[in-house]
Every structure is written in structure tokens, then in C-alpha cells.
């Protein structure tokens, strides 16, 4: 200890504790999942409901960054709001300057640079949020994960938040390369329902979005009927698992 | 006092420039006269400037302004291609230079034609006039000499010409403009860009195509 006071201090074993603590904030949040499939990217999140007085559909965790890009976050929502706004600015500036959609890797790298910059100074604290970005650019659909450290990786499937370990196990069982976005929506719903902890956390709301061929490569919340169908199948799958036990 | 014995006018590219899309690529053409008032500062200027492997810019207006702009564009495109890990598109180059031009429009006199070939869109031509704006076209003409050849190009352009037809079209058009515009002259330079790469050609001043004027 003593090495964890500032983001500008390394510990003797080469760790930056402030960044690790920021990651803890992410791990205390509801699980967020992203799947990149054949024809698009699907994002989903377990929105834990802290009070019955909250209006349904409020406190959005999934945000649209540009026509062809969206993100879901896990962690401190106020911190994430900064990342959302910055992503939108970057995407918009790119379009103004270069005249076309921002490519996934450029957007992800810009957000990662921004996040990383906040781990370099004594006077700033790191962001307590991880962001999963789904972007459908000229090279096809791509999924990137940006963490509080500023690391940025390109994934086929990724999960952040409370149930990320269990979710990753489930994701690895899927054949993502041959799945459609429509099928992936159901899979994401199933995984979120299965990693949700009934005992520790009471109710949750499922938020799902996609950017795929079926949505004309536009990022949008999944249509209501598909959302309901996905939730129905997820509940049934959960029921089967319980019956098996 | 009075008239110093050296040119004091800002060197300008009086100019005739053009670019044409053909089946598989673009042909860009320009004259070679840089004038400072009535003094010809350069009679063999190269007005078609490389800004990336397969993207070139035809320059007209102030020589200083257009050279500064294309220098910046070359730098920005080079850095951008590192981010993209591939060659940028012609559309990107056109919008980038437009940003520079539009933001500084009160201090610049530059009319440019950005043309080239990229993997995703194939051949493209974009006209960037004096005040800014990006206009995608199949064929585009610019510079003071262009006024005299609107009729010729409008009447003779055909879609999906062969490379040879397009090169002849460009040489003829620039030649006609040189004949009528005092600020255009010298030789005709052409740059042909396609998936196969870049080809530069030169038509010397005494070998200009004999077209029109009853020849």
C-alpha cells in the first residue's frame, strides 16, 4: 500500500492500483454482453432495477453513437456518459473531416486513447466504466471492448460486469461465425437470464440492441416483438435448466 | 520606385485542369503555365500533384495556396492511412481538403479537382470550387481555361470510355483551352490512375493535337 493513492504511481510489481480499482467498479455492475456474428453485432445488458419508482425504459445502458455504431457499458453510469459523449463527438468529427462513416477500429482507438489519457495524470481519475462498442463499417460488423486501463481489443464475443466469467463460458460454447443477428439476440437474452443472480439481485430489465443487415446496418434497440420473443425463450431455457436439476 | 525589374504579382496557375472517369480508372489532365502577371514564371509546371499512391489533385488558382494545401493533404492522408491500415478513399481526400479550404476561404484562392482510384469505390472525380464544397462528377473541368471548353466536353464526353479514348478526350480538351486562354499554355500533362497503378504522359507544346480551327 501507499502505491494506490495516485494513478501516477506504479507499485513495485508493476501495477497501477487506481486503474485496477476502477475495474472493480465495473465488476460490481450488471452484466453487459456483445456478440459479433455473421451479419451484425448484438449488444445486451442486465439492467438491475434499484427501485420500483424507476420508469421502465429509463436509465438506458445502450446508446447510439452514430448511424452505424452503438455501445453498451458496465460500471459507473455517470463516467460512462462521458465516454458516450466523447464517442459521439469523435464519430461526428470523423464524418465532418473525412466525409464517411467512422471505421470501427478508428472509433475504438480514439475512445481507448481518451480513456487511457485519464490514467496518466495525478489530477484526474480513471473512468469506472468498460464499454462494448458494436460498429458496422465498410469492413463488416465489429465488436470492440474498451476498459478503464485504455486497453482496446477486437472480439467475436465479450462480456463485462458482475456475471462476466459465467457469461464468457456460455459465449465460448456458441458458433458465432455461423449465427445470424436474429439468432444472436435470443442467445444474448438466454445468457443474461442465466447469469443473473436471483438471490443477490432482485429484478432486472433486459436491454437489447443490434446493428445488422436486418436493421439496414443502423444501430437500434431490438424491435419489441423480437425482444419479447427473446425474453420468452430465455425464461423457457432457464425453466428447463431448473427442471433438469 | 515605380516598376521593380522583377515580377511582383502573386504567381497564379491561370490554368486549364480536368479529370475524367473512364471504364476502370480516371484520366487527369492539365496545362503547364504558371504566370506572375504577364511573366511566365514556369512554362513546364506540374499541376497534377500526388497526395497518395492512387490519389492526385489538379491545382488551379494561387500557386502558393494550392501547394500549401496539397502539402497538408499529403501529410494528413499519410497519417490517416496508418490509422486505417489501408489506402484512404478519394472521397476522404476530397472532404479533407475541403475542410482546409472552407475554413480558410477568406484567405485562399484555390480551385481543385481531386481524383483517383480506391479499392471500395473504384475511380472517382471530385470538384472543389473556390469557396469550398465537394461535387462528385464523372468529368470535371477547372481553371481559367475551362470556360472555353464547357461546350466541347459536354458534347463529347461518353460514359465508360476506354483508357485511350479518355486520354485523347483530355488532351483534345486541354489543347482547345490552351488555344483560347492566355493564362494556359506550354505542354499538356496527363496522369492516368487505375487498379493497375499510375501512368504519367507528356505532350510537348509543339506536338499538341491538331484539333479544330479548320485543321
* Predicted confidence pLDDT, tens digits, chain A (245 residues): 789 999 999 999 999 999 999 999 999 999 999 999 999 999 999 999 988 899 988 899 999 999 999 999 999 999 999 999 999 999 999 999 999 999 999 999 999 999 999 999 999 999 999 999 999 999 999 999 999 999 999 999 999 999 999 999 999 999 999 999 999 999 999 999 999 988 888 889 999 999 999 999 999 999 999 999 999 999 999 888 778 76
- Flag if A98 and B92 touch (Cβ within 8 Å): yes
A31 is catalytic: yes
Helix/strand/coil for B137: strand
CA distance A148 to A129: 6
CA distance A108 to A34: 14
Indicate the average pLDDT of chain B.
93
0.90 surpassed by pTM: no
- Among A23, A31, A115, A119, the active-site one is A31
Using a CB-CB cut-off of 8 Å, the residues of chain B touching A138 are 120
Helix/strand/coil for B32: coil
A170 alpha carbon, distance to own chain's centre: 16
Q: What is the pLDDT, as a whole number, of residue B86?
A: 94
Using a CB-CB cut-off of 8 Å, the residues of chain A touching B85 are 105
CA distance A148 to A126: 6
Q: Is the pLDDT of residue B12 over 70?
A: no
Helix/strand/coil for B62: strand
Contact B95/A at CB under 8 A: yes
The size of chain B, in residues, is 215
The answer to whether the Cα torsion of A224, A225, A229, A232 is positive or negative is positive
CA distance A214 to A159: 24
More confident residue, B212 or A204: A204
CA distance A163 to A30: 7
Contact A140/B at CB under 8 A: no
Using a CB-CB cut-off of 8 Å, the residues of chain B touching A100 are 89, 91-92, 95
Using a CB-CB cut-off of 8 Å, the residues of chain A touching B126 are none
Q: What is the pLDDT, as a whole number, of residue B211?
A: 84
Q: What is the pLDDT, as a whole number, of residue B210?
A: 83
Q: What is the mean pLDDT of residues B173-191?
A: 95
Closest chain B C-alpha to A88 CA, distance in angstroms: 19
* Cell numbers standing for residue A75: 460500471
Q: What is the pLDDT, as a whole number, of residue A243?
A: 80
The residue of chain B with its CA nearest to that of A97 is: B96
pLDDT in tens, B26-57: 999 999 999 888 889 999 999 999 999 999 99
Q: Is the pLDDT of residue B1 over 60?
A: no
SS (H, E, C) A118-180: CCCCCCCCCCCEEEEEEEEECCEEEEEEECCCCCEEEECEEEECCCHHHHHHHHHCCCHHHCC
CA distance B194 to B173: 21
Residue B134 CA neighbour count, 13 Å, CB half: 22
Contact A28/B at CB under 8 A: no
**Planar angle of CA B127, B188, B157, nearest 5 degrees:** 50
CA distance B18 to B157: 12
Please classify residue A12 by burial: count the beta carbons closer than 10 Å to its beta carbon, then call 0-12 exposed, 13-18 middle and 19+ buried: exposed
Residue B116 CA neighbour count, 13 Å, CB half: 24
More confident residue, B14 or B15: B15
DSSP H helical segments within chain B, as ranges?
63-84, 90-103, 150-156, 163-180
* Cell numbers standing for residue A28: 460490481
- Among B1, B15, B168, B192, the active-site one is B15
CA distance B76 to B70: 10
Closest chain A C-alpha to B89 CA, distance in angstroms: 9
Closest chain B C-alpha to A98 CA, distance in angstroms: 5
ipTM for this model: 0.76
Amino acid at each position: 500500500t501507499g502505491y494506490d493513492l495516485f494513478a501516477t504511481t506504479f507499485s513495485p510489481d508493476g501495477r497501477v492500483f487506481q486503474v485496477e480499482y476502477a475495474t472493480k467498479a465495473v465488476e460490481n455492475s450488471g452484466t453487459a454482453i456483445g456478440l459479433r456474428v455473421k451479419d451484425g453485432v448484438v449488444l445486451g445488458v442486465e439492467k438491475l432495477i434499484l427501485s420500483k419508482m424507476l420508469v421502465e425504459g429509463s436509465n438506458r445502458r445502450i446508446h447510439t453513437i452514430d448511424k452505424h455504431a452503438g455501445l453498451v457499458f458496465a460500471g459507473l453510469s455517470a463516467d460512462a456518459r462521458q465516454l458516450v459523449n466523447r464517442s459521439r463527438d469523435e464519430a461526428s468529427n470523423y464524418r465532418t473531416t473525412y466525409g464517411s462513416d467512422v471505421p470501427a477500429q478508428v472509433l475504438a482507438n480514439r475512445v481507448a486513447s481518451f480513456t487511457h489519457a485519464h490514467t496518466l495524470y495525478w489530477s484526474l481519475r480513471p473512468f469506472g466504466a468498460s464499454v462494448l462498442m458494436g460498429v458496422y463499417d465498410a469492413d463488416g460488423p465489429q465488436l470492440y471492448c474498451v476498459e478503464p486501463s485504455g486497453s482496446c481489443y477486437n472480439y467475436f464475443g465479450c462480456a463485462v460486469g458482475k456475471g462476466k466469467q459465467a457469461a464468457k463460458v456460455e459465449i465460448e460454447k456458441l458458433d458465432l461465425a455461423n449465427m445470424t443477428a436474429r439468432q444472436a439476440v435470443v442467445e444474448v437474452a438466454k445468457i443474461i437470464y442465466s447469469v443473473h443472480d436471483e438471490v443477490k439481485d432482485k429484478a432486472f430489465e433486459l436491454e437489447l440492441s443490434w446493428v445488422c443487415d436486418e436493421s439496414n446496418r443502423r444501430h437500434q434497440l431490438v424491435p419489441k416483438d423480437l425482444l419479447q420473443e427473446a425474453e420468452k425463450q430465455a425464461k423457457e431455457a432457464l425453466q428447463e435448466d431448473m427442471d433438469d436439476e | 520606385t515605380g516598376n521593380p525589374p522583377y515580377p511582383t504579382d502573386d504567381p497564379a496557375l491561370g490554368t486549364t485542369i480536368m479529370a475524367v472517369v473512364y471504364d476502370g480508372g480516371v484520366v487527369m489532365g492539365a496545362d503547364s503555365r504558371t504566370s506572375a502577371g504577364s511573366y511566365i514564371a514556369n512554362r513546364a509546371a506540374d499541376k497534377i500533384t500526388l497526395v497518395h499512391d492512387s490519389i492526385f489533385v489538379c491545382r488551379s488558382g494561387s500557386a502558393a495556396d494550392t501547394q500549401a494545401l496539397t502539402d497538408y493533404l499529403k501529410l494528413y492522408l499519410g497519417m490517416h492511412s496508418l490509422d486505417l491500415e489501408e489506402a484512404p478513399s478519394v472521397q476522404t481526400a476530397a472532404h479533407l481538403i475541403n475542410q482546409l479550404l472552407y475554413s480558410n476561404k477568406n484567405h485562399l484562392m484555390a480551385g481543385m479537382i481531386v481524383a483517383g482510384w480506391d479499392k471500395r469505390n473504384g475511380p472517382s472525380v471530385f470538384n472543389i470550387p473556390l469557396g469550398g464544397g465537394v461535387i462528385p462528377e464523372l468529368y470535371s473541368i477547372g481553371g481559367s481555361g475551362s470556360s472555353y471548353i464547357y461546350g466541347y466536353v459536354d458534347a463529347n464526353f461518353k460514359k465508360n470510355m476506354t483508357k485511350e479514348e479518355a486520354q485523347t478526350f483530355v488532351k483534345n480538351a486541354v489543347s482547345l483551352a490552351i488555344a483560347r486562354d492566355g493564362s494556359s499554355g506550354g505542354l499538356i500533362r496527363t496522369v492516368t490512375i487505375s487498379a493497375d497503378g499510375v501512368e504519367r504522359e507528356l505532350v510537348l507544346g509543339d506536338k499538341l493535337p491538331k484539333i479544330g480551327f479548320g485543321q
